[in-house]
Structure 1
């Protein structure tokens, strides 16, 4: 089953808005969308890839569902189901509802004298979907059609997957603009300790997704969330895994000590930007790529 009303209310208190009638899809205003509307900065995705932060729709079709319970996840993992259960809403309902919910959440900015009027008007018509808010989007039964509907509406799509549904990934008929696979460990032991997978043979499944990544026509990216004292080691092993995937980009990003992750990790696990940069340099040498961009405030480095 999806989230009940009490569970939804708990997440709504944190800024989520649910759409549809089955309690599995929703949106949440990104910190950088708000910042951009006030001309106080933009998301690193705008700096790296040209995605306009004020027109980005941060959403998920599968908020309650994920195969992992990662220690660095900022979500409340007590609400997470590891397999899809119950009915699901259609893609038009989800997209229409997410856009409407985002507009409702942003309406207060129209009364803010510091807000950029041009950006505010543009924000009412988002044109990028960051399908990464919470949960594993590949678990949504109609993910292929969701990507297709966004494309019909002239959206770009950034889809972030944990790589545990390699068959479904390989069989996507509608590719996102940019496909991310999360690679948060150099080997199976570190992966199990850090990501707490809830299904059988997860490391084997991730490796199959890495192998499949090079067959995609879309832009591809490996993202590594770095947790100090946990997974910032064995860069040679990371290199072999990344080379197998042959992605267009690699993002080396710091774990941020926020939300419910603070119950599992501490500030000591959050790497500095300098530490992220050093680790990215080691990875770059292993995969014959270069650091081409970075964002100090988001503690992320981009390799190409």
Structure 2
């Protein structure tokens, strides 16, 4: 490798080889520092073909064909969750390399998404109106991979999305508590993952890479009620692993007092198949049963659901 390439590799979060590996899976990297990427969501494609849409469209009115699925921190996370569909061998627990600015990330994300969707213009089954609208996405799902709170300019990224008339749905695992608590520019909807009712289950299932992860998540739950934005607790149900102790789940949810609760089934896809099996994927009825018990204990109601995505909404 030449000296110029060696120096280039030192300043990026993911090596060019690892970036290329993810590009085979549909990722497109943004900027020049190898930490942010976009990937076309399955439901974006389905929506353009009028073959269905994401549950977020049913629950919250987000148009699937105008949704930008992205991450500013692809390889960075303090957890290695067994149910994660991503390649955990690439996961880093400390920021590595320089970072791109928010304007560059958003500009490149829109451009990359348009390039990835250009083939639909030659598809007779594609909805022409939706295709034209897809050129100007208006919602950012900041949830593709990694923990977005790792990105040093996360505040400015959210602000820049808002400046460009995007709504933002940001998903956090809550481990980087202080940064989350001090978030100056709030997303349209803030998701906090709650995938265990107690520390032991959390450690077994999510494999935290730092000692205080569970404590930090609890602190994040405590601060969630202070946000002005819409808030949501999301629980990924993994059969035989975390679908028990509803009472403790309810206590933690009451602590956070979110606007919404999403109870969603683990889906046996991607790299998670190396760690779990189809037997760990609950049926839709099992998800409903779990959600109803949480609803009863928290004084909430099931207000919506999507059977194809195996997800239930509580309010």
Runs of at least 4 residues of structure 1 off by over 3 A? none
- What is residue 308 of structure 2 aligned with on the other side? 297
1:112 aligned to 113, 116, 123, which one? 123
> How much has 1:170 moved relative to structure 2?
1.2
- What is residue 29 of structure 1 aligned with on the other side? 40
Runs of 5+ unmatched residues, structure 1:
none
Task: Find out whether 1:260 has 2:244 as its counterpart.
Answer: no
- What is residue 7 of structure 2 aligned with on the other side? none
1:143-292, aligned counterparts within 5 Å? 143-292=154-303
> How much has 1:12 moved relative to structure 2?
0.3
Q: TM-score, normalised by structure 1?
A: 0.99
> How much has 1:200 moved relative to structure 2?
1.9
> How much has 1:83 moved relative to structure 2?
1.3
- What is residue 72 of structure 1 aligned with on the other side? 83
Distance 1:303 1:274 in 2: 15
SS of 2:70's equivalent? strand
SS of 2:75's equivalent? coil
1:193-239 CA-partner distances (Å, limit 9, x unpaired): 00000012111100000000000000000000000000000000000
Distance 2:220 2:275 in 1: 28
SS of 1:59's equivalent? strand
What is the total number of aligned residue pairs between the two structures? 304
Distance 2:184 2:209 in 1: 27
Runs of 5+ unmatched residues, structure 2:
1-11
Q: TM-score, normalised by structure 2?
A: 0.96
Distance 2:162 2:20 in 1: 31
C-alpha root-mean-square deviation of aligned residues, in Å? 0.5
1:160-212 CA-partner distances (Å, limit 9, x unpaired): 00001111111111000000000000000000000000012111100000000
> How much has 1:85 moved relative to structure 2?
1.5
Task: Find out whether 1:61 has 2:72 as its counterpart.
Answer: yes
> How much has 1:150 moved relative to structure 2?
0.3
2:141 aligned to 130, 133, 136, which one? 130
